[in-house]
Amino acid sequence: MIYFARGVFVKGSTRILFFDLLIVLLFTFLAYLFVLIPPFNQTSLRIIFALPILLFLPGYLLIAAIFPRREELSGIERFTLSIGLSIAIFVFDGFAISVTQWRFRPPSIIYSLSLIILILTLITLLVRLRIPEDRRFYLDLSIFSGFIESLRSDERPSDIEKALIIALAGSIIIASGMLVYAKLTFEEEKFTMLYILGAGGKAEDYPSVVYLLEPSSITVGIENYEHAPANYTLQVKLGGYLLKEENLALSHGEKWVNKVYFTPKHVGKHLKLEFVLYKDGSMIPYRSVHLWVDSLIDYGNLTRVREYALSDLPVVDNPDMEADSGWIFTKNIGYFRGHFTKFYQLEENATLCGYVTDNVTSKGIAYARVSINNHYGYVKTTTTNSSGYYEIPTIADHFWIVSTANGYRESATEFDISPGKRLVVNMSNDPQPIAQFNMTLEELSIINETIDTLPPDEVPEWILTLDGYVIDDVTRLPIANASVKVTIEDIFEKVLVTDQSGHFELKTIPGSATISVDVAGYSEKTTTFTISDDSTIDLRLEPANTTPPPSSMMILPIVRAGEEGNRRPASGLP
């Protein structure tokens, strides 16, 4: 034969050391199955399997963990203590879960006791493994025979047995008293039941299709357990539209179960058919249940639909709203705006103006973008001048205004402007740190302006050098005294003049650069360039008079010297 020992089955052993723990886990699973899982919980077996988990198993495991040796307690002592401690564990567990959101319900009781049993089983297993095999407690026939003989024996019980009997009787009395106290003092739950039933009065076979303008019905049940009379309002809604409303009053314990008839008024797929219950005049739903149905047209029975169909369409004056007649435009809230004709001419007879300023320095922000929108399709945008001033001719309406600028956070507000008025709306934008430098625009501006005067050891590591030559595109000769303007990220500007060899050089921050060159006798040139490292760029200008040079003119290229500091234009043949 094969028995269980040391956590595995062992052939030839006469003892099954952990057999009792397996039985405990089996009864716990059966209690869970027959108390909570339908249809098993509808049989009388739920009582048979519920009693051990309530009155015996938790205490048995606790005793097994405290007294793991065989000789420490007799069978009747283990049995008596198991019942007493189980009752105590059940009572205190019940009080604990009664103050939680799960309350004192069969599922919460089974879940909590099952968790306690699993924890005690693990503890018992670990404790037994530390005890020598020959001294471990285990179930065998001698335990049961000794228990029966002790019951039949005429001997007077020992002091320990008397104490156990007294403890068992005391625990039963205490548990009974606590249950009676809980019954007398525990406030009964107040609630109302709302449910719907399908065909045959069962919670199944609900309708999935209803038909337009054809009466449908569903059985609705309402039960009052509020411990007081209550007035209810039942509403039937399909797709959010009210189909029927019914008022009723029920006393405590009274039940109302009736067929509720309703008629769908619109068609649609997967609509929510909802039954909403309100209590005592409240506008907040108290209970609700719903189904998902399709509302369709029954083309095999169009009699009802024809009764509601229009034989002749009404004649409407100015149906396309292409004129100012036939319609009256009204509004009942302030922000409802619009015009009843699509050809309504909007007159820009109002003026919006103001300044966009830095919220830290209060200085005007040049070239900031200002946009207004009435959220009805009218949008206008402008930019501020060098002092941060803007002006926008506009219609009279309620507007949302937004100001944005490089290096600043967006700023927004709302305003109303009347016909013929001039309204000042000043905007203030907060500086936004530039991520790659972790500095504000103001801080970068200071560095950009003072970078040429800083000592070499104070120049930030990320400052780069941009240099190059301005060259005549025809003769390939350098151009002296050319004005070179470098704009970084459309914000920072630097202007410098080339030397006699046409060379220019500056220190700058990294970023996208716009380089413009202007000199008398040549066409102005603008180019873009990304500065991500120390860079060199040569700029070639076309003469304003582009007449080709004489054929005898020599074309001189630019020759680069080996060292960076000795770069110069040099003559030579191409």
The CATH number assigned to the domain holding 502 equals 2.60.40.1120
Q: What is the mean pLDDT of residues 307-317?
A: 72
* Among the ranges given (64-68, 270-274, 276-280, 388-392), the one the predictor scored with the smallest mean pLDDT: 64-68
Q: pLDDT-based confidence at 571, cuts 50/70/90?
A: very low
Residue 322 falls within a domain, yes or no?
no
**175: pLDDT confidence band, cut at 50, 70 and 90?**
low
Contact 31, 58 (CB under 8 A): no
Q: Is the pLDDT of residue 249 over 90?
A: yes
Query: The CATH number of the domain where 206 resides is what?
Result: 2.60.40.10
DSSP tag of 567: -
Q: Is position 446 within any domain?
A: yes
Tokens of 417: 């402007």
Greatest mean pLDDT among 198-202, 399-403, 457-461 lies in 399-403
Dist CA 231 CA 247 (whole Å): 7
Token code pair at residue 33: 């199955």
Do 6 and 138 fall within a single domain?
A: yes
Residue 566 confidence (pLDDT): 43
Q: Are residues 13 and 94 in the same domain?
A: yes
Q: Do 148 and 203 sit in the same domain of this protein?
A: no
Instruction: Please say if the pLDDT value at position 146 is more than 60.
Output: no
Q: Specify which of 32-46, 97-111, 159-173, 290-304 reaches the highest per-range mean pLDDT.
A: 290-304
Same structural domain for residues 417 and 492?
Answer: no
155 confidence band (pLDDT: 50, 70, 90): low
The verdict on 72 and 120 lying in the same domain is yes
Q: Are residues 113 and 211 located together in one domain of the fold?
A: no
Q: Are residues 50 and 25 in the same domain?
A: yes
Give percent of the chain above pLDDT 90: 29
Burial annotation 550-571 (CB, 10 A radius, 16+ → b, else e): eeeeeebebeeeeeeeebebee
Q: Are residues 97 and 202 in the same domain?
A: no
Q: Are residues 16 and 139 in the same domain?
A: yes
Q: Are residues 165 and 267 in the same domain?
A: no
Residue 188 has pLDDT above 90, yes or no: no
Domain that includes residue 174, residue range: 2-185
Q: Are 58 and 89 within 8 A, CB to CB?
A: yes
Confidence of residue 50 (pLDDT cuts 50, 70, 90): confident
312 vs 420 pLDDT, higher one: 420
Report the relative pairing of strands 287-296 and 209-211 from DSSP bridges: parallel
Residue partners of 48: CB distance under 8 A and separation at least 6: 34
- Predicted local confidence at residue 311, as pLDDT: 64
Regarding predicted confidence, which is higher, 473 or 355? 355
- Whether 226 is in a domain gets the answer yes
Q: Comparing C-alpha atoms, which of 105, 62, 110 is closest to residue 86? A: 62
Q: Examine the fold and report which residue of 407, 429, 451 is the final residue of a domain before the chain moves on.
A: 429
Instruction: Specify whether the backbone of 552 is left (phi greater than 0), alpha (psi in -120 to 50) or beta.
Output: alpha
Q: Are 348 and 394 in contact (CB under 8 A)?
A: yes
Asked whether residue 486 falls in the same domain as residue 526, the answer is yes
Average pLDDT, the chain: 80
**pLDDT at residue 204 tops 90:** no
Query: What is the distance between the alpha carbons of residues 91 and 493, in angstroms, rounded to a whole number?
Result: 82
pLDDT computed for residue 559 by the predictor? 40
Q: Flag whether 325 is in a domain.
A: no
More confident residue, 338 or 75: 75
- The answer to whether the bond into 157 is cis (omega within 30° of 0) is no
pLDDT given at position 144: 55
Least confident of 71-75, 334-338, 362-366, 477-481: 334-338
- How does residue 560 score in pLDDT terms, banded at 50, 70 and 90? very low
| pLDDT tens digits for range 90-122 | 888 888 888 887 777 788 888 999 999 999 999
CA dihedral 473, 474, 477, 483 (to 10 degrees): -40
* CA 182 – CA 17 distance, rounded (Å): 41
Q: Within this chain, do residues 8 and 142 fall inside the same structural domain, yes or no?
A: yes
| Residue-wise DSSP of 112-167 | HHHHHHHHHHHHHHHHHHTS-GGGB--B-HHHHHHHHHHHH--SPPPHHHHHHHHH
What is the CA 304 to chain-centroid distance, rounded?
46
Say how far apart CA 418 and CA 432 lie, in whole Å. 34
* Single residue among 137, 164, 185 that ends a domain in this structure: 185
234 vs 271: CA distance, rounded Å: 19
d(CA 216, CA 421): 61
- Displacement of CA 419 from its chain's centroid (Å): 44
Kindly state whether residue 334 falls inside one of the protein's structural domains. no
In a domain, 53, yes or no: yes
For residue 338, being part of any structural domain is answered with no
The token pair that represents 18 in the structure block: 């952990």
Q: Can you tell me the distance from the alpha carbon of 565 to that of 446, in angstroms, rounded to the nearest whole number?
A: 29
Closest CA to 403 of 442, 440, 357: 357
Rounded-to-integer distance, Cα 488 and Cα 447, Å: 13
Does residue 572 lie within any of the structural domains?
no
- Residues β-bridged to residue 136: 69
pLDDT of 19: 81
Among the three residues 185, 216, 232, which one is the final residue of a domain in this structure? 185
User: 250 pLDDT exceeds 90?
Assistant: yes
Q: What is the rounded distance in angstroms from the CA atom of residue 138 to the CA atom of residue 211?
A: 69
Is residue 297's pLDDT more than 70?
yes
pLDDT at residue 528, as a whole number: 82
CA distance 96 to 109: 10
Taking only the tens place, the pLDDT of each residue in 480-535 is 999 998 887 766 788 889 999 999 988 887 877 888 898 988 888 888 877 777 88
When divided into structural domains, the chain yields a total of 4
